[in-house]
Amino acid sequence: MFRSSQEMPREVAEGRRGGKGPVESVIIFRDGELKAPVRLFNRVTILPGSSIGYHVHEKEEEVYYILRGQGVVNDNGVQRPVGPGDALLTGDGAGHAIENTGTEPLEMVAVIIRYC
């Protein structure tokens, strides 16, 4: 299935998961469009000073793959700087958060996969 970038819906949410500021999500594929148990497959943009708040993943895991920008992730209680090419895997009851600490938008791909 091909989907052009113009066909991908965009959502902007303020204070996502208790975070700060606006976060834009481009929905690449929706839940149910893939045969694999993928709940979310989005390109996410976090503006400078904005964040996605700390949250836990039960019975699923989430991958963040950083494309552009700089930030800090809370990796289940451990703070780590992130930049282009870095990846974070969170699941099995662990939690995470991410904040843009840079001066340009932080862009990443976020994928949530359910456990079978």
The answer to whether 13 and 22 are in contact (CB under 8 A) is: yes
**Domain 13-69+80-114 CATH (choose: 3.30.1370.100, 3.40.605.10, 2.60.120.10, 1.10.3720.10):** 2.60.120.10
**Where do the domains of the chain lie?**
13-69+80-114
Based on the number of CB atoms within 10 Å of its own CB, is 61 exposed (0-12), middle (13-18) or buried (19 or more)? middle
Q: What string of pLDDT tens digits covers the 116 residues of the chain?
A: 999 999 999 999 999 999 999 999 999 999 999 999 999 999 999 999 999 999 999 999 999 999 999 999 999 999 999 999 999 999 999 999 999 999 999 999 999 999 98
